[in-house]
Amino acid sequence: MLSAFAALPALPMLLPTFALAQLSASPAGQTPATNPLPSWNDTAPKKAIFDFVERVTKQGSPDFVREAERIATFDNDGTLWAEQPLYSQLLFALDRVKVLAPQHPEWATEEPFALLLKGDVRAALAGGEPAIAKIVMATHAGMISMEFTEIVRDWIATAKHPVTGRLYTEMVYQPMLELVAYLRSNNFNNFIVSGGGIDFMRQWTDRVYGIVPEKVVGSSGKTKFEMQNGKWVLMRLPEISFIDDGPGKPVGIHEHIGLRPIAAFDNSDGDQAMLEWTTGDKSRSRFGLLVHHTDAVREWAYDRDSKVGKLDKALDAAPAEGWTVMSMKDDWNKIFPFGSK
Amino acid sequence: MLSAFAALPALPMLLPTFALAQLSASPAGQTPATNPLPSWNDTAPKKAIFDFVERVTKQGSPDFVREAERIATFDNDGTLWAEQPLYSQLLFALDRVKVLAPQHPEWATEEPFALLLKGDVRAALAGGEPAIAKIVMATHAGMISMEFTEIVRDWIATAKHPVTGRLYTEMVYQPMLELVAYLRSNNFNNFIVSGGGIDFMRQWTDRVYGIVPEKVVGSSGKTKFEMQNGKWVLMRLPEISFIDDGPGKPVGIHEHIGLRPIAAFDNSDGDQAMLEWTTGDKSRSRFGLLVHHTDAVREWAYDRDSKVGKLDKALDAAPAEGWTVMSMKDDWNKIFPFGSK
Alpha-carbon span B244 to A255, nearest angstrom: 13
All structural domains of chain A:
40-84+167-331 (3.40.50.1000), 88-158 (no CATH)
pLDDT score, position A33: 56
> Does the structure show a pLDDT above 80 at A16?
no
- Which of A213, A232, A247 comes nearest B276 by C-beta? A232
What is the per-residue DSSP string for B170-185?
GSB-HHHHHHHHHHHH
Tell me which of B254, B259, B275, B321 to substitute to probe the interface with A (most A C-beta atoms closer than 10 Å).
B254
* Chain A residues within 8 Å of chain B (Cβ atoms): 68, 145, 189, 198-199, 202, 206, 212-216, 220, 222-226, 231-232, 234, 241, 247-251, 254-259, 273, 276-277, 280
> Does the structure show a pLDDT above 50 at B1?
no
Q: CB distance A258–B223 less than 8 Å?
A: no
Q: Give the strand order in the sheet containing B216-228.
A: B231-242, B216-228, B189-197, B71-74, B263-266, B287-292, B324-327
Give B138 to chain A, closest Cα distance, Å.
20
The band of A129, judged by pLDDT with boundaries at 50, 70 and 90, is confident
> Does the structure show a pLDDT above 60 at B13?
no
Q: Tens of pLDDT along A286-334?
A: 999 999 999 999 999 999 999 999 999 999 999 999 999 999 999 999 9
The stretch A199-210 carries a mean pLDDT of: 98
- Which of A145, A212, A254 comes nearest B254 by C-beta? A145
**Helix/strand/coil for A98:** helix
Q: CB distance B223–A254 less than 8 Å?
A: yes
Spell out which residues of chain A touch residue B215, defining contact as CB-CB under 8 Å. 214
Spell out which residues of chain B touch residue A145, defining contact as CB-CB under 8 Å. 254
The stretch B303-325 carries a mean pLDDT of: 97
Alpha-carbon span A281 to A272, nearest angstrom: 15
For all residues of chain A together, what is the average pLDDT?
Answer: 91
pLDDT score, position A32: 52
Alpha-carbon span B175 to B39, nearest angstrom: 5
For all residues of chain B together, what is the average pLDDT?
Answer: 91
The band of B15, judged by pLDDT with boundaries at 50, 70 and 90, is very low
The band of A87, judged by pLDDT with boundaries at 50, 70 and 90, is very high
Answer yes or no: are the C-beta atoms of A294 and A330 closer than 8 Å: yes
Spell out which residues of chain B touch residue A144, defining contact as CB-CB under 8 Å. none
Identity of the amino acid at A167: L
Q: Tens of pLDDT along B213-271?
A: 999 999 999 999 999 999 999 999 999 999 999 999 999 999 999 999 999 999 999 99
The band of B33, judged by pLDDT with boundaries at 50, 70 and 90, is low
**Helix/strand/coil for A60:** coil
**Least confident stretch, A13-27, A192-206, B65-79, B188-202:** A13-27
Spell out which residues of chain A touch residue B276, defining contact as CB-CB under 8 Å. 232
A205 to chain B: nearest residue by CA? Answer: B258
Q: How many CB pairs under 8 A join A and B?
A: 88
pLDDT score, position A6: 34
Give A230 to chain B, closest Cα distance, Å.
10
Identity of the amino acid at A144: I
Q: Residues 6 or more apart from B226 whose CB is under 8 A from it?
A: A247, B232, B233, B235
The band of A43, judged by pLDDT with boundaries at 50, 70 and 90, is very high
- Which of A145, A250, A256 comes nearest B214 by C-beta? A256
> Does the structure show a pLDDT above 70 at A23?
no
**Helix/strand/coil for A263:** strand
> Does the structure show a pLDDT above 60 at A187?
yes
The HSE-up count of residue B328 (CA atoms within 13 Å, CB side) is 28
What is the SS3 string spanning A154-220? HHHHHCECCCCCCEHHHCECHHHHHHHHHHHHCCCEEEEEEEEEHHHHCCCHHHHHCCCHHHEEEEE
Tell me which of A192, A206, A255, A257 to substitute to probe the interface with B (most B C-beta atoms closer than 10 Å).
A255
pLDDT score, position B127: 87
Q: Do strands A324-327 and A231-242 pair parallel, antiparallel, or not at all (unpaired)? A: unpaired
> Does the structure show a pLDDT above 60 at A26?
no
- Which of B223, B248, B257 comes nearest A251 by C-beta? B223
Q: CB distance B280–A231 less than 8 Å?
A: yes
A233 to chain B: nearest residue by CA? Answer: B277
Give A114 to chain B, closest Cα distance, Å.
33
